[in-house]
Chain A
Amino acid sequence: MTKSHIELTINGRTVEALVEPRTLLIHFLREQQNLTGAHIGCDTGHCGACTVDMDDMSVKSCMTFAVQAHGASITTIEGVANADGTLSALQEGFRMMHGLQCGFCTPGMILRAHRLLQENPAPTEDEIRHGISGNLCRCTGYVNIVKSIQYAAAKINGTPFQEAAE
């Protein structure tokens, strides 16, 4: 099968490559670009572990062919930290609020939360729960993921974060 030429931006860097058309974006990122932060959890588009940000949308990269990303701008978890190398508000929120355990869903979860906060800077708990409903976590039970996102939203907005009482 004919290989396709693609050109795209990944974490601010221009990348050109020849890919077999059936190459899934997740494999392109993980194996050809060595960006192993995004993971494969379910293979069928239900778990969101492969989520990356593509042209201001949260996209499941194992449900996308690399050729479909031609011309796109992609952000992966590797491109999320602050320019000075410190953790972004979301990364810090997940750590402070214990929003992760095994870490396998975390890159996808953070990328999804990133887009959610871009669209809705001060989401309610219900909005957060629906907002991350395309991402499965098998470890945390979500309560602390919700808090992590609330923490990040507060930090970004400069508003005080009050951890909800049990």
Chain B
Amino acid sequence: MIPGAFDYHRPATIEDAVTLLASLGEEASILAGGHSLIPLMKTRLASPDHLVDLSGIGNLKGITVAGGDIVIGAMTTQFELIASEDLARHIPIIAETSRLIADPQIRYKGTFGGNVANGDPGNDMPALMMALGATYRVHGPDGGRDVAAREFYHGAYYTALEHGEILTSVRIPVPPAGHGYAYEKLKRKVGDYATAAAAVVITMAGGTCTSASIGLTNVSETPLWASEASALLVGTRLDKPSVDAALAAAEAITNPASDMRGPAEYRTKMAGIMLRRALERARSRTEA
């Protein structure tokens, strides 16, 4: 498996990168960690004429706490997400999810931005970003703009990102202290995409759920934010009927493909099972 030929560009600033992309046109692709793109290139499912490597742009890396938000640079790697003390303190579900992505080697190189931006429904971060209500910062020829994670995903590998735009950072509102969280991922083996996975972030007060947000991975053409299922939980004590109702609502919005991980009906049911388990674990983690 050999990739097709391309010209290589390594701009030093976001502005240079944006200018380059504009001048190179449709046949240019962005190279971040490369662990999604390079396999596609080796199987010739992608044959860009130009690669614009973002690794030379210094300020695309890093995790900063800004007011009530955390901002993560697009080139921050999964390894760095796992190692971050700020994330461990404020949004521990990010590290929990990162640990379930691919394998150690890929987590050293795989970037947060690449994971959320490339539109692969098998990626784990997008559903989590939807659940957390994150906002993506995008730079293009016309300057910068923000896109809500929940508005970003339109189809498999098809996102709100226009050609020539670069996702540069993600802003995530820090969930309230004492929130409960869990990312439950069913997979056949390390390195595999999820058969189904669920991200849950909840808050509880006096045994009652005061907020809930659910994301689902790899059970549709796009990552899913299960808004109705989330809403069904708020105000309940997460008793079995309420959870059952939320599961039914979550399963109803799935539309998975049948593949080696299992037929569609199985993956839909597994989305429900993962959600049930994530809710149980999230509740056990709330400090109410």
- A-B contacts counted at CB < 8 A amount to 86
A65 vs B7: C-alpha distance when bound (angstroms): 12
Docked-complex contact B103 and A134, CB < 8 angstroms: yes
A60, B106: Cβ atoms under 8 Å? yes
Name the distance in Å between B115's Cβ and chain A's nearest Cβ.
Answer: 14
Query: Interface size of A by Cβ–Cβ distance < 8 Å?
Result: 30
Give the CA-CA distance A61 to B83 in the complex, in Å: 23
- Of B3, B10, B34, B104, most buried by chain A (CB within 10 Å of CB) is B104
Q: Show 30 A/B contacts (Cβ-Cβ < 8 Å), sorted by A.
A: A1-B7, A21-B8, A21-B51, A22-B5, A22-B41, A24-B3, A43-B1, A43-B42, A45-B35, A46-B191, A48-B103, A48-B105, A58-B105, A58-B108, A59-B105, A60-B105, A63-B34, A63-B106, A64-B34, A65-B34, A67-B8, A67-B53, A68-B34, A68-B53, A116-B104, A130-B190, A131-B104, A132-B104, A133-B103, A133-B191
A51 close to B (CB within 8 Å): yes
A82 interface residue (CB < 8 Å to B): no
Q: Indicate whether B39 reaches chain A with its CB closer than 8 angstroms.
A: yes
Query: Given the complex, which residues of B lie within 8 Å of A57, measured CB to CB?
Result: 79, 105, 108-109
Q: Which residues of chain B have a CB within 8 Å of any CB of chain A?
A: 1-8, 10, 31, 34-35, 38-39, 41-43, 51, 53, 55, 79, 102-106, 108-109, 190-191
Q: B-facing mask of A65-76, CB < 8 A → 1, else 0?
A: 101101000000
Contact A134–B190 (Cβ < 8 Å): yes
Contact mask for chain A residues 112-133; partner B; CB cutoff 8 A; 1 contact, 0 none: 1000100000000000001111
- Asked if A20 is an interface residue, CB under 8 A from chain B, the answer is yes
Most chain B beta-carbon neighbours within 10 Å: one of A24, A43, A58, A132: A58
A62 to B97 CA separation, bound complex (whole angstroms):
25
Cα A46 to Cα B103 with chains together (Å): 8
- Most chain B C-beta atoms within 10 Å of own C-beta, residue among A43, A68, A116: A68
Contact of B55 among A1, A68, A134 (CB under 8 A): A68
User: Which residues in B have their C-beta under 8 angstroms from that of A46?
Assistant: 191
Say if the beta carbon of A2 comes within 8 Å of chain B. yes
Q: Contacts A57-B109, A131-B104, A134-B190 hold; do A22 and B3 have CB atoms under 8 A apart? A: yes
In the complex, chain A residues 1-48 whose Cβ is within 8 Å of any chain B Cβ: 1-2, 4, 20-22, 24, 43-46, 48
For A51, list chain B residues within 8 Å (CB): 105
Q: State the CA gap A23–B201 with chains docked (Å).
A: 43
Q: With CB as the reference atom, state the residue of chain B lying closest to A129.
A: B190
Q: A21-B8, A24-B3, A65-B38 are in contact. List 8 more A-B contacts (CB 8 A).
A: A2-B7, A44-B42, A44-B43, A45-B105, A48-B103, A67-B53, A130-B104, A130-B190
With the chains together, A166 CA to B102 CA distance in Å? Answer: 31
CB-based nearest A residue for B104: A134
CA A58 to CA B8, docked complex, whole Å: 23
User: How near does chain A come to B81, taking the closest CB pair, in angstroms?
Assistant: 14
CB neighbours of A2 from chain B (8 A):
7-8
Complex CA distance for A132 and B79, rounded to whole angstroms? 15
Are A64 and B109 in contact (CB-based, < 8 A)? Answer: yes
Residues of A within 8 A of B5 (CB): 1, 20-22
Compute how far the CA of A21 lies from the CA of B34 in the bound complex, rounded to whole angstroms: 14
For A132, give the chain B residue with the smallest CB separation.
B104
In the complex, what distance in Å separates the CA atom of A57 from the CA atom of B31? 19
